[in-house]
């Protein structure tokens, strides 16, 4: 019996939905071993590097996959992999290869992080960014041997409309965290202002509220509901209840939550910036970043547009399924393993 090849996946947190998805898809074809930052209590990054070294010494590792290229440890993992003769794939996320100066969003604000990131990217074998836009950002900081766009994929059978749930006059958005540094970049500030101009509509903002944002959150109107971080089941119910998903961001490398919402039958209102036009295409409405008046008009229109909800799901089914994602992951992994 031929043993399956083993992929060592290294990431900050394997419970993040799209990371968990990649692990599951990879595990359908390969054996998967994991090293994550969250498993260490102290000296997290040195401990992660030491654990990778131990894995190379004592376990089978046919390929290394960095899911997120965190500058504080990525170059050390990549160079250690090269020392042991391992091929390396880096799957970037967006935050790890960008910087928005006026809000401080992204990892690339420090000179040493840019230097470390350039080393990791240069000595990797393949880099897989989540969009063509994100690919241009990667190339600002490093010149990998090979770089190929690989769109994220979602479970379109799970993220689907529920015919038994009546759509409500509700607008929603999802943030990884509602924090002072990201509220403007992710469009939450704009959406709160839009809600003030639309008191008859319910607005729902999903994401853990950090301490530095609590004062701003407390000032919002009664029609704005902050629900915190939700389980997948609870999040799906909001996707199925809301008529509109608003992604009024200044920066998105892909926008997984927006795609989940579109697949679930939400009309999409987004900004025409970074990767969003590439991802949404003609299946949504566009408003300038930070333009409250234009956002109000577009959201009012989207609330009435059943055709947009249908177009949104069809668009996702054509482009962002798990099958598409799995094929891209497996083909890139196998090519490197076979060439080794």
CATH of residue 143: 3.40.50.2000
- What CA–CA distances, in Å, run from 226 to 13, 192, 267? 24, 11, 20
Looking at the structure, tell me whether residues 215 and 237 fall in a common domain: yes
pLDDT band at 265 (very low <50, low <70, confident <90, very high): very high
Is residue 238 one of the residues assigned to a domain?
yes
Residue 215 lies in a domain: yes
**pLDDT tens digits, one per residue of 143-202:** 999 999 999 999 999 999 999 999 999 999 999 888 888 898 999 999 999 999 999 999
Three-state DSSP class for 10?
A: strand
- Say whether pLDDT at 113 is over 60: yes
Report how far residue 340's alpha carbon sits from residue 329's, in angstroms, rounded to the nearest whole number.
17
- Segments in the chain forming alpha helices (H): 17-27, 44-58, 74-83, 111-123, 132-141, 180-183, 188-197, 214-218, 232-241, 256-263, 276-280, 292-304, 306-319, 322-339
Question: Same domain for 256 and 142?
Answer: no
Whether 255 and 330 map to the same domain: the answer is no
Q: What is the DSSP string of 69-126?
A: --TTTHHHHHHHHHHTT--EEEE--SGGG--BTTTTBSSTTSHHHHHHHHHHHHH-SE
β-sheet bridge partners, residue 107: none
Query: Within 10 Å of residue 77's Cβ, how many Cβ atoms?
Result: 26
Whose CA is closest to 107, among 144, 143, 141, 156?
Answer: 141
Q: In terms of DSSP bridges, do strands 242-247 and 267-270 run parallel, antiparallel, or are they unpaired?
A: parallel
CA 142, 144, 150 angle in degrees (round to 5)? 105
- Domain membership of residue 105 (yes or no) is yes
Could you read off the pLDDT of 194-223 as tens digits, one per residue? 999 999 999 999 999 888 888 888 889 899
Which domain covers residue 147, as residue numbers?
A: 6-153+321-339
The pTM (predicted TM-score) of the whole model is 0.94
Residue 160 domain flag: no
Q: What is the number of domains present in the chain?
A: 2
Tell me, yes or no, whether 17 and 137 share the same domain: yes
Q: Is residue 272 domain-shared with residue 234, that is, in the same domain?
A: yes
- Domain co-membership, 288 together with 332: no
Please indicate, yes or no, if residue 1 is contained in any of the structural domains: no
């Amino acid at each position: 019996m031929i043993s399956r090849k083993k992929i060592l996946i290294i990431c900050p947190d394997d419970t993040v939905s799209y990371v968990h998805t990649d692990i599951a898809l990879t595990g359908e074809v390969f054996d998967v071993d994991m090293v994550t930052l969250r498993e260490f209590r102290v000296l997290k990054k040195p401990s992660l590097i030491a654990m990778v070294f131990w894995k190379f010494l004592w376990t089978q590792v046919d390929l290394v996959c960095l899911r997120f290229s965190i500058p504080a440890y990525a170059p050390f993992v990549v160079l250690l992999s090269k020392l042991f003769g391992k091929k390396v794939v880096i799957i970037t996320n967006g935050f790890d290869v960008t910087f928005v100066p006026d809000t401080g969003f992204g990892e690339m604000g420090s000179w040493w992080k840019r230097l470390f990131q350039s080393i990791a990217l240069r000595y990797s074998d393949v880099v897989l960014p989540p969009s063509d836009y994100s690919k241009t950002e990667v190339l600002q900081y490093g010149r990998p041997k090979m770089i190929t766009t690989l769109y994220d994929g979602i479970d379109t059978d799970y993220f689907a409309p529920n015919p038994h749930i009546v759509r409500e006059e509700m607008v929603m958005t999802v943030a990884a965290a509602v924090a002072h540094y990201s509220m403007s970049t992710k469009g939450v500030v704009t959406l709160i202002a839009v809600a003030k101009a639309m008191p008859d509509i319910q607005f729902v903002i999903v994401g853990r509220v950090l301490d530095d944002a609590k004062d701003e959150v407390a000032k919002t109107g009664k029609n704005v509901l902050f629900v915190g971080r939700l389980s997948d089941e609870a999040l799906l119910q909001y996707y199925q209840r809301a008529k509109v998903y608003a992604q009024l961001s200044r920066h998105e490398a892909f926008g997984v939550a927006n795609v989940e919402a579109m697949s679930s039958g939400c009309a999409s209102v987004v900004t025409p910036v970074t990767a969003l036009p590439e991802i949404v295409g003609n299946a949504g409405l566009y408003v300038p970043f930070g333009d409250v008046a234009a956002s109000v008009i577009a959201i009012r229109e989207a609330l009435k547009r059943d055709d947009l909800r249908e177009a949104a799901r069809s668009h996702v089914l054509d482009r962002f399924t798990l099958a598409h994602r799995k094929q891209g992951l497996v083909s890139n992994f196998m090519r490197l393993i076979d060439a080794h």
